[in-house]
Chains A and B, each alone.
Chain A
Amino acid sequence: MADNSLPLVSVRNLAVEFTQHGGGPVRALDSVSLDLRPGRVLGVVGESGCGKSVTARAMLRILDRNGSIKNGQILLDPGTPQQTDITALPGEGNRMREIRGGRIGLIFQEPMAALSMQYTVGNQLMEAIRVHNDPGKAVARQRVIKLLNDVGIPRPETRIDTYPFQLSGGLRQRVGIALALAADPDVLIADEPTTALDVTTQAQILALLRRLQVDKKIALMLITHDMGVIAQMADDVAVMYLGRVVEFAPVNEVFAAPRHPYTQALLRSVPNLRAPPHSRLATIGGAVPQPNARPKGCPFHPRCPDMMPGRCDTTAPAPVPPGQAGASCFKVEDAALVEGVAA
């Protein structure tokens, strides 16, 4: 990998399970490993139920009550003396509260999820600043105005006293971003930050995220289902399917030479602005299985065009080794083996 700086967060072999009312446990994440590096954007892409949001929530320890981390580590500042395993901290403890917002910020898909209707924008942002490191009311207010200016909100001196419901969707998401940045975190998780927005607003918000991430050297984890957003924003890409990272690679490699059959199929099924009229799209047969009906072996095998009977449907291929480009697929493993022999 081009960047060998130490990651700010390393997720290792993370497994998360949800208990269902009256049913057995459902595995939502299975051995997920990811690295977030300063100044880089990790794009996490996948369809519904792939576990991309669960990963984010686990990293902030805000899983729903019926979910729990079953295995693995989430290391903050790995390899440094301050290394902390987030999975080992009490979820509601002081340290975790410091990390949430202070070290790792979160941008929601629906900014209303993070904002209260009863308080002004300024109130909420000032609270976020003062909870972590109180500089006093007057200073905090000045910082909020600067923050609002940073996220591209026009006339921040007046907007600071408006209520979220008085703002348009685009401005609300800007406030959502300001809220995530209030305590100056160096890691930012954006969970589908533009899915609820119109396309022109999306372009603005993506440009803003890009600028902030570069300026502040933030390690950004961008979660989306949109391959276009990934192509425009990500440095590295993790493709997830049914709770596993099936492929990890730098963005150019993923688009130019996808390794995993799922990535290949996903890329082909994206509607194209240059396609001839009435041209058909490549599809992936079937649908994403329900999480409680996880296929045995490789989770993608029932939909995979390259499925090897007796192998893919019995054992799961090894996860992608952290920090290396690769795919969790027997076909890819075999190809690498052949290449190795030839060399």
Chain B
Amino acid sequence: MNMLEVSGLTKHYPINAGILRREVGRVRAAEDVNFTISKGETLALVGESGCGKTTVARCILRALKPTSGSIRFSPADGEMVDLAPLSKRQLRPLRRHIQLIFQDPYASLNPRMMVGDIIAEPLLVNGVASAERHRRVLELLDLVGLPAAARTRFPHAFSGGQRQRIGIARALALNPRVIVADEPVSALDVSVQAQIINLLLDLQEQLGLSTLFVAHDLGVVRHVSDRVAVMYVGRIVEVAPTVALYATPRHPYTQALMSAVPKADPLMRDTAAAPIGEVADPANPPPGCAFNPRCPFAIDRCRTERPVLRDVGAGQLAACHRAEELTLAGVG
């Protein structure tokens, strides 16, 4: 059963210039993005900065209004609502079902509120009675591995990892049906990052969460996700089950991304050359496949015709003209 069905999701930002603020161009932050997340599944959205992964996440949370496309979400089993056209007021009763885990554990907690109040706020604004709120806050603190005494302390008394736990507790307070995690561990130290990844794994297991996991770190993604969608300049270029994607990438960009990750093994140095060039400008993407200027396998067709995301076998989808003929190196 699908919890979230995103189809044709597009977000453009107009570029205005001149005294009349005339539109002179558009940043195509997200272009025709399609994916689904089923119940209990974690889909990772990966890519480099500016690829549109955060834009997609913010559209799903409806912190942004998409330019076009639909975001169908299931607020209760057997029901589907399209979030894309809804107004702020229509969205309010639905917000409780989709919650966000922030990247920055420092900015995301109000420093002037006690931890107990921070975690209780979602319950309070959704009309949960005081006694029940208290019980639930203690339950949530325990769930994320913080002592009950944390309730009466202020965020400044906590380390980055502990703050991230508080943020997770707040996100879980209303038993959301979908969690959006926006780079939840990238601001943390390596040793603390591992703690939070393990906590997320525990929670996935215990609560059967459906998660959209936005990240740039392929190592982290490998540990937490069931499926991975790779984005490049606003479009999804490959979607595949995690193991398959890492073992047999079908898009040259996926391969480039993986080979660029420095391997924590001094005996495996420089196995692949770094991809050439830089990420294309989403305001002015190259014609054809956006990756063609950097792609070692590009042919004339790649420079003129944009490849569509299609099934290339074994449940893998890739947007590459040459997906079938290329043999790309994966890891593990």
Contact = CB atoms under 8 A, between A and B. Distances in A.
B262 A232 contact: yes
Nearest to B259: A203
B189 A281 contact: no
Interface string B164-204: 00000000000000000000000001111111011001001
A284 B275 contact: no
A273 B273 CA distance: 18
Interface stretch (A29-37, A140-148, A222-230): A222-230
* Size category of the binding interface on chain B: 35 or more
A332 interface: no
Nearest to B185: A271
Nearest to B50: A198
A168 B235 CA distance: 21
B283 to A, nearest CB: 13
Contacts of B218: 199, 273
Contact of B159 (A278, A284, A287): A287
A220 B159 CA distance: 33
A204 B279 CA distance: 13
A26 interface: no
Nearest to B258: A273
B266 interface: yes
A267 B263 CA distance: 12
A159 to B, nearest CB: 13
Nearest to A233: B262
Interface stretch (B25-33, B127-135, B223-231): B223-231
A271 B278 contact: no
A240 B120 CA distance: 39
Contacts of B201: 278, 280
Given A231-B266, A251-B266, A271-B197, A284 B191 contact: yes
A199 B216 contact: yes
B191 A228 contact: no
A201 interface: yes
B211 to A, nearest CB: 12
A199 B266 contact: no
Contacts of A120: none
Contact of A274 (B159, B262, B332): B332
A292 interface: no
A134 B259 CA distance: 43
Contacts of B282: none
A202 interface: yes
B223 A228 contact: no
Contacts of B195: 283
A278 B227 CA distance: 11
A282 interface: yes
A251 B268 CA distance: 12
A22 interface: no
Contacts of B262: 202-203, 206, 226, 228-229, 231-233
A184 interface: no
Contacts of B216: 198-199
Contacts of B222: 271-275, 277
A162 interface: no
Given A203-B274, A269-B194, A273-B218, A279 B264 contact: no
B199 to A, nearest CB: 10
A231 B263 contact: yes
A111 to B, nearest CB: 14
A269 B190 contact: yes
Interface in B261-291: 261-270, 273-276, 278-279
Given A225-B189, A228-B261, A278 B223 contact: yes
A199 to B, nearest CB: 5
B180 to A, nearest CB: 19
B332 A281 contact: no
A273 B263 contact: yes
B104 interface: no
Contacts of A280: 197-198, 201, 223
A46 B48 CA distance: 24
A273 B190 contact: no
A202 B69 CA distance: 34
A202 B192 CA distance: 23
Interface in A151-190: 168-171
Interface in B199-217: 201, 204-205, 216-217
B309 interface: no
A314 interface: no
Contacts of B269: 231-232
A288 B265 CA distance: 25
Given A199-B48, A277-B222, A270 B190 contact: yes
Interface of A: 47-48, 168-171, 198-204, 206-207, 225-234, 251-252, 255, 265-267, 269-275, 277-284, 287-288
What 5 pairs across the A-B complex have the smallest Cβ distances? A271-B219, A228-B262, A274-B332, A203-B274, A269-B194
Given A231-B262, A281-B194, 18 more contacts: A199-B48, A200-B275, A202-B260, A202-B262, A227-B190, A233-B262, A255-B266, A255-B267, A265-B191, A271-B223, A272-B219, A273-B219, A274-B222, A281-B197, A283-B191, A283-B195, A287-B191, A288-B189
30 contacts: A47-B190, A47-B192, A168-B278, A170-B278, A198-B49, A199-B257, A199-B261, A200-B275, A204-B274, A226-B262, A227-B190, A231-B269, A232-B263, A234-B266, A251-B266, A252-B266, A255-B266, A265-B191, A266-B190, A267-B264, A271-B219, A273-B258, A273-B331, A277-B222, A278-B201, A278-B204, A279-B223, A283-B198, A287-B161, A288-B191
